[in-house]
Amino acid sequence: MSQFDQDPNAIRRYAPPPEGHVSGSKLELALRAGHFAVTAEMNPPDSADPQDVFKAAQPLADVADAINATDASGANCHMSSIGICALLTRAGHGTVYQISCRDRNRIAIQGDVLGAAAMGVRNVLCLTGDDVGAGDQPGAKPVFDFDSLTLIRTIRTMRDQGVFLSGRKITSPPNLFIGAAENPCVDPLEWRPDRLAKKVAAGAEFIQTNYIFDMPRFQAFMSRVRDLGLERKVFILAGVGPLASAKAARWMRGNVPGIHIPDQVIARLEKAENPGEEGRRICVELIQQLREVAGVAGVHIMAYRREHLVADIVREAGIAREQRPA
Amino acid sequence: MYRIRRFAVRHSRQFEWIYNRLESALVALAPVLSRIGYNRIERPVALIEKGIKGLLFDCQMCGQCVLSSTGMSCPMNCPKQLRNGPCGGVRPGGFCEVKPGMRCVWVEGWNGAARMRGGDRIREVLPPVDRRLAGSSAWLRASREKAAALHEARERERSTLANAFPTARRIEPSTAPLADEPARAIGRGKTG
Ligand code: SF4
């Protein structure tokens, strides 16, 4: 029997969130319970086969409280975030539906938010989006009708006030846990915490940061975040990932927008006999250090094309679900 | 022009002062302007505004100016046209992700805001751009809105009595005052 033969009456809206929660997603439950949460980014397939989605998610499924489905990140075309989320949520996985402002205007985005929630999505991540020039179709028209903050505020309005931005009523508002990104280690370093404050003011409830390879920079960021009291208002998941080699690290630094990798890290990979293994070890060490930073509520693992390492990394760092205090 | 634009951001505090004077003047003139008709002056004012702000800020005439909240750095010059930037792609040294030769509009903006008296306005989340307003005068819109808000605030100060006798208020204003009388006038202020 194919998935399309189900009785439509059996497809219901997911249960309302428990008391004190906005979505009841696994990620929200873990964070509010005080666990050190793990999210992981999935490599979206260039395919129309649902099995390819499940295959890509499989290495992350056991260790992640939610799997992030990227929205044409780096402006490269892949299966859509909403499509991936629809499949994964149906299969019982927690998902983070990423929305970039680059490709769709406010009409499309608000409609998709409802569609995603109807299909069971409970976490969203609001992103500005990389420039189209960074991707495989640089001739595309960049939209940027919203920016990440107006998007956050819009979804908050849809959820909490039960209306579209136009004021029109939504009969059954989406129960979503609303996230945003932050990039603590790139310029303007002195203003990054203030921009985070703005995201919190806009309505963000969790933050997934870009890659942290530079602990001193991140420490400085977090100390200012704590001065502003933001870590008490928002859950911060620090971004990490295993680097494959010095060459790959250099390429990322030079070609992917917003990535800062200090020279020492690259030098360490260069000297290593087995750079892949060294990259994995660096990642584990970073997680262990991040865990000690006051105000860090979890990690967000972006292991592009190295997803097979994620489960090991999580266990070795001692943050797997089965390693959590009961 | 890029060089002039950067000059304007470096002198954000002065431009803030100048704009505030201009806005106060327009607000004060609101009764006159509305008698002439905002529609009649819209085109010529928009033209002047475009000339001046185009030169100073590379203004794109979005019609809903936010320079006072963005450190005098026009966000329409950000290739992503963010209203609440910067994005996460800023290059080392504060250069733009999309146009590496240009300083990030929003790095400039936060620095500019730090020099302004009302610089904290940059911490406010700004709404998305309303594309219908493109090409129209933001000076007139802002001053008209402010004048209307002032008027409304004054109306709210009207005593209930004044509201209950609106016509009397018009023909015999002293019988239904707009606001509370000063204490001295009604014999309560003598000791002070
Ligand atoms: S780097 Fe600055 S100017 Fe460039 S797109 Fe990002 S926010 Fe806009």
Peptide bond into B86 cis (omega under 30): yes
Range of the domain at A57: 3-323
Structure-block tokens of residue B9:
């951001």
Residue B110 lies in a domain: yes
Structure-block tokens of residue B117:
């008296």
> Model confidence over A277-307: pLDDT tens digits?
999 999 999 999 999 999 999 999 999 999 9
Residue B177 lies in a domain: no
In angstroms, the Cα distances linking A105 to A77, A234, B178 are: 17, 27, 47
> Model confidence over A112-164: pLDDT tens digits?
999 999 999 999 999 999 999 989 999 999 999 999 999 999 999 999 999 99
B91 CA → ligand 1 middle, Å = 9
Residue B85 lies in a domain: yes
Please report the pLDDT score of residue B172 as a whole number: 78
The pTM (predicted TM-score) of the whole model is: 0.91
Contact B26, B139 (CB under 8 A): yes
Taking contacts as CB-CB distances below 8 angstroms, the residues of chain B near A153 are: 125, 127
Q: Which amino acid, one-letter code, is at B185?
A: A
| Secondary structure class of B76 (helix, strand, coil) | helix
Cβ-Cβ contacts under 8 Å for A12 (sequence gap 6 or more): none
- Residues of chain A whose beta carbon is less than 8 angstroms from a beta carbon of chain B are 101-102, 106, 128-131, 133-134, 142, 144-150, 153, 181-183, 186-188, 191, 194-195, 197-198, 201-202, 210, 257-258, 260
Give the least confident one: A206-220, B130-144, B173-187. B173-187
**Mean pLDDT over all residues of chain B?**
90
Length of chain B: 192
Taking contacts as CB-CB distances below 8 angstroms, the residues of chain A near B123 are: 194, 197-198, 201
Residue B165 lies in a domain: no
Range of the domain at B140: 2-146
ipTM metric = 0.93
Q: How many domains does chain A have?
A: 1
Contact B140, B41 (CB under 8 A): yes
Q: How many domains does chain B have?
A: 1
Cβ-Cβ contacts under 8 Å for B89 (sequence gap 6 or more): A130, A131, A183, A186, A257, A258, B97, B98
Q: CATH code at A51?
A: 3.20.20.220
